[in-house]
């Protein structure tokens, strides 16, 4: 009933059931897509077969007409022509009959599990490429995107912490930065992408700039709000009576008090940062996750796409838990 | 009128070696107001070294405002506060504070909380970063001192615990240790036991009596008294029990529309830590306090019950005869 707690095994069971349900739904969708693809192929084959049948009847008639020809030369030519026509017709009929009985078409929009493994995961994990330079897509793409993401998160969080603390502690800084930050935090960062593409040009620092632009205003505001809300003035006065300097007050009291909030706020910014990065890569990159997704989208081949999506989810989970773990280690006093 | 029934030997003697009062803190014509709301009006107050002064008053009388002015975080709008002869308008390591809430830094263990003051006071961030080995040695020393102090207040077992793992009473003990390790010239306690249950409260009051005992011992050895304390409380029994002097701040006096001022200033009975609480000794003074400080029907001139320093002077004369 409402807010009635359930046992741990119930909880685990229900969680597992929902995962199984998702997998089941996917399997059903994939197999229905495959069935549809095969049926369409059978229908096409059937249509072609009836055309071929009509053609065969015509050719048979032509053969008989040719055999009845009096002139020997034209009779031989007519018979030969009709016979080779029938020959081709028979071959083609055989081919389409095979297709009708055992359709070969596969659908790549919702691939089956075996295709995901074979054409998705295994293809992405083995060196690919027609030329000398063979590369493993998964490694290359995740390396490129990961480097961009890590660098920008580092720069973005560092800048946000410094600016957020200053905004929270010093009213002039807050008064000066609040208007642009409030405005820019409302601008959807994806809308600003073209400006970055043109102004900075497409290079590594552009991706960093985009993500920093996307996270700085809201993260700095969140940190500043936390400084104002979560640090009671008593603690500040107390630190003064213990002989703290201004800088010690910020570094040893305020920063430590809001550190768990900073880690939580930063954790919430990783998702949006990844959205921005994949979007930017999708549009302009020559390597990276977004780039690979675009390539396969253009081929309407979702095998690799699904593998990438799954891996992105896994990485998101891992990073999330890593940050929660870091908060527990760094701020054991904070509790859950 | 002498409310103090204890023997002259236990009588507070706020005097330095030369016989003159050794004044630590002085409020001179301190007034404060918020817009049209006049809170403090010409508060004059002197506190001598070694005194444990209780400040009582009805709610809204400006006790906290006066405390903040004395602490230095909210300087008065007119008048000045002077410590050891020097006026000030900022908080300083010479004035310690224990608040009712948010007394401890939640991200530090009990031990680190107590050692936090020495760290901030004796070292700087550049020192801690660039002379790390030296800092490590100094830190170990500070933590050891903090641990000893925690042992003294009976919290040796809780050194490594965070404030969130401690009870309210334990937190206040740590907070007092945190303030005492700085050896402040004046320790301010702002309703320090207000949120505690009765028995915890009593054990902490006892702790203050022990501090007063240290003062008496120091006086006997002709050393400067280590603790000067101003405690703000709304509990009259607590005020009478732990202090050697009671101040009443109230707006209920002639001219009270201009703000509150000191309307009561008399010695309080002195108890030794092992003594029983004698409520009979409280009652006479308690009634006088209730009338002069807390009653809005009894309006008198503000100096009528302010006689601490004249009583001290006459006491000294009697002794010298």
- Summarised one tens digit per residue, pLDDT across range B60-85 is 888 999 999 999 999 999 999 999 99
**How many other C-beta atoms lie within 10 A of the C-beta of residue A167?**
25
- Retrieve residue B228's tokens: 């000067």
State whether A248 and B179 contact (CB < 8 Å): no
Cα-based angle A130, A133, A138 (whole degrees, multiple of 5): 90
Strand order in the sheet with B229-232: B95-98, B186-190, B229-232, B52-56, B245-250, B261-267, B305-306
Shortest Cα distance, chain B CAs vs residue A322, angstroms: 21
Domain boundaries defined on chain B:
15-94+185-307, 106-183
- Which residue is listed with tokens 């103090």? B4
Q: Find all residues with CB under 8 Å of B87, minimum gap 6, and list them.
A: B80, B81
Q: What confidence score (pLDDT) does residue A143 get?
A: 93
Residue A152 has pLDDT above 90, yes or no: yes
Give the tokens for residue B294.
Answer: 């807390």
Q: Verify whether the Cβ–Cβ distance A257 to B71 is below 8 Å.
A: no
Contact yes or no for A75/A62 (Cβ under 8 A): no
Gap between the Cα atoms of A185 and A197, Å rounded? 20
Q: What is the pLDDT of residue B9?
A: 39
Q: Which long-range contacts (CB under 8 A, 24 or more apart) does A81-88 make?
A: A85/A55, A85/A59, A86/A56, A86/A59, A86/A60
Cα B128 off chain centre by: 33
Q: How far apart are CA A325 and CA A317, in angstroms?
A: 12
Give the model's pLDDT for residue A17: 97
Tokens matching residue B43: 């508060």
In contact, A168 and A224? CB cutoff 8 Å: yes
CB-CB neighbours of A63 under 10 Å: 18
- Our CA-based measurement puts residue B120 at a distance from the nearest CA of chain A, in whole angstroms, of 5
Mean pLDDT, range B302-308, rounded to an integer: 82
User: What is the rounded CA–CA span in Å between residue B83 and residue A284?
Assistant: 68
What integer pLDDT is reported at residue A307 of this predicted model? 93
> How far apart (Å, rounded) are the C-alpha atoms in residues A65 and A75?
9
Give the pLDDT confidence score for residue B7 in this predicted structure.
Answer: 39
Cβ neighbours of A244 (radius 10 Å): 23
- pLDDT above 90 (res B232): yes
- Would you state the pLDDT for residue B16? 47
Chain B interface, Cβ < 8 Å to A? 71, 73, 90-93, 95-97, 99, 101-103, 105-108, 116-117, 119-121, 124-125, 162-164, 178-179, 182, 184
Question: What one-character DSSP code corresponds to residue B263?
Answer: E
pLDDT in tens, A52-99: 999 999 999 988 988 888 888 888 888 888 899 999 999 999 999 999
In angstroms, rounded to a whole number, what is the distance separating the alpha carbons of residues A109 and A103? 18
Closest partner residue to B107 among A239, A247, A333, by Cβ? A333
pLDDT computed for residue A135 by the predictor: 85
| B262-290: average pLDDT | 84
Which tokens belong to A201? 């040009």
Nearest CB to B102: which of A235, A256, A334?
Answer: A235
d(CA B83, CA B151): 31
- SS3 assignment for chain A: CCCCCCCHHHHHHHHHHHHHHHHHHHHHHHHHHHHHHHHHHHHHHHHHHHHHHHHHHHHHHHHHHHHCCCCHHHHHHHHHHHHHHHHHHHHHHHHHHHHHHCCCCCCCCCCCHHHHHHHHHHHHHCCECCCCCCECHHHHHHHHHHHHHHHHHHHHHHHHHHHHHHHHHCHHHHHHHHHHHHHHHHCCHHHHHHHHHHHCCCCHHHHHHHHHHHHHHHHHHHHHHHHHHHCCHHHHHHHHHCCCCHHHHHHHHHHHHHHHHHHHHHHHHHHHHHHHHHHHHHHHCCCCHHHHHHHHHHCCCCHHHHHHHHHHHHHHHHHHHHHHHHHHHHCHHHCC
Alpha helix positions (H), chain B: 63-71, 110-122, 125-130, 132-152, 168-180, 198-220, 236-242, 279-289, 308-320
Is the dihedral angle over the CA atoms A80, A86, A88, A90 positive or is it negative? negative
- Reading phi first (left if > 0) and then psi (alpha if -120 to 50, else beta), residue B124 is in beta
Q: Which of B179, B167, B162, B172 is nearest to B106 (CA)?
A: B162
- pLDDT digits over A264-281, tens only? 999 999 999 999 999 999
Question: Is the minimum CB–CB distance between A232 and chain B shorter than 8 Å?
Answer: yes
pLDDT bracket for residue B305 (50, 70, 90): confident
**Which of B67, B72, B102, B122 to probe the A interface (max A CBs under 10 A)?**
B102
Q: Which of B97, B107, B119 sits opposite A257 (nearest CB)?
A: B107
Residue with tokens 């900022």: B90
C-alpha distances (whole Å) from B294 to each of A89, A125, B57, B289 are: 116, 83, 7, 7
Query: What is the rounded distance in angstroms from the CA atom of residue A320 to the CA atom of residue A268?
Result: 9
User: Domain spanning B15-94+185-307 has what CATH number?
Assistant: 3.40.50.300
Task: Note whether B215 and B180 are within 8 A (CB).
Answer: no
Tell me if chain B has a CB within 8 Å of the CB of A229.
Answer: no
pLDDT for the residue numbered B18: 55
Residue B12 above 60 pLDDT? no
Task: Mutation target for B interface from A238, A240, A245, A334: give the one with most B CBs within 10 A.
Answer: A238
């Amino acid at each position: 009933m409402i807010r009635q707690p359930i046992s741990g095994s119930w909880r685990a069971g229900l969680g597992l059931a929902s995962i199984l349900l998702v997998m089941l739904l996917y399997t059903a969708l994939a197999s229905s897509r495959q069935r549809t693809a095969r049926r369409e192929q059978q229908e096409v084959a059937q249509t072609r077969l009836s055309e071929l049948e009509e053609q065969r009847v015509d050719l048979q008639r032509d053969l008989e007409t040719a055999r009845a020809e009096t002139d020997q030369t034209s009779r031989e030519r007519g018979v030969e022509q009709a016979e080779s026509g029938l020959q081709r017709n028979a071959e083609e009929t055989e081919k389409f009959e095979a297709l009708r009985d055992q359709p070969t078409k596969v659908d790549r929009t919702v691939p089956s599990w075996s295709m995901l493994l074979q054409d998705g995961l295994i293809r992405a994990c083995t060196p690919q490429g027609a030329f000398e330079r063979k590369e493993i897509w998964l490694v290359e793409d995740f390396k490129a995107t990961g480097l961009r993401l890590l660098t920008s998160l580092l720069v973005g969080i560092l800048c946000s912490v410094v600016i957020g603390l200053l905004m929270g502690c010093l009213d002039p800084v807050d008064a000066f930065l609040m208007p642009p930050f409030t405005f820019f935090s409302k601008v959807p960062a994806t809308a600003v992408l073209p400006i970055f593409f043109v102004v900075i040009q497409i290079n590594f620092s552009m991706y960093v700039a985009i993500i920093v632009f996307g996270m700085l205003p809201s993260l700095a505001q969140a940190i500043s709000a936390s400084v104002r809300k979560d640090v009671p003035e008593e603690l500040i006065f107390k630190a003064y009576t213990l002989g703290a300097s201004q800088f010690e007050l910020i570094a040893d009291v305020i920063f430590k008090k809001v550190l768990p909030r900073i880690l939580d706020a930063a954790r919430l910014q990783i998702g949006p940062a990844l959205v921005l990065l994949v979007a930017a890569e999708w549009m302009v990159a020559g390597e990276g996750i977004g780039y690979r997704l675009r390539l396969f989208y253009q081929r309407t081949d979702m095998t690799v796409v699904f593998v990438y999506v799954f891996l992105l989810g896994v990485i998101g989970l891992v990073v999330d838990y890593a940050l929660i773990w870091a908060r527990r280690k760094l701020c054991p006093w904070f509790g859950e | 009128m002498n409310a103090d029934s204890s023997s002259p030997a236990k009588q507070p003697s706020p005097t330095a070696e030369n016989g003159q009062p050794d004044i630590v803190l002085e409020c001179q014509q301190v007034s404060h107001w918020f817009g049209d709301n006049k809170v403090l009006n010409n508060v004059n107050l002197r506190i001598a070294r070694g005194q444990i002064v209780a400040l009582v008053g009805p709610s809204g009388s400006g006790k906290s405002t006066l405390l903040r002015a004395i602490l230095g975080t909210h300087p008065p709008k007119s008048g000045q506060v002077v410590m050891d002869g020097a006026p000030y308008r900022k908080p300083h390591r010479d004035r310690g504070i224990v608040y009712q809430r948010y007394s401890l830094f939640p991200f530090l263990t009990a031990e680190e909380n107590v050692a936090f003051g020495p760290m901030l006071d004796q070292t700087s961030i550049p020192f801690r970063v660039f002379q790390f080995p030296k800092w490590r040695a100094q830190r170990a020393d500070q933590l050891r001192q903090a641990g000893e102090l925690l042992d003294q207040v009976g919290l040796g077992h809780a050194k490594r615990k965070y404030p969130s793992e401690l009870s309210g009473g334990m937190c206040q003990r740590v907070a007092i240790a945190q303030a005492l390790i700085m050896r402040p010239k004046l320790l301010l306690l702002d309703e320090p036991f207000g949120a505690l249950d009765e028995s915890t409260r009593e054990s902490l009051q006892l702790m203050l009596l022990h501090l007063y005992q240290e003062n008496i011992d120091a006086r006997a050895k002709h050393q400067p008294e280590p603790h000067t304390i101003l405690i703000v409380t709304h509990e009259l029994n607590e005020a009478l029990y732990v202090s050697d002097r009671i101040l009443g701040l109230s707006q209920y006096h002639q001219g009270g529309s201009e703000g509150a001022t000191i309307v009561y200033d008399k010695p309080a009975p002195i108890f030794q830590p092992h003594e029983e609480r004698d409520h009979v000794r409280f009652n006479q003074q308690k009634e006088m306090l209730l009338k002069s400080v807390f009653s809005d029907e009894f309006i008198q001139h503000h100096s009528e019950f302010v006689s601490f320093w004249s009583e001290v002077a006459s006491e000294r004369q009697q002794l010298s005869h």
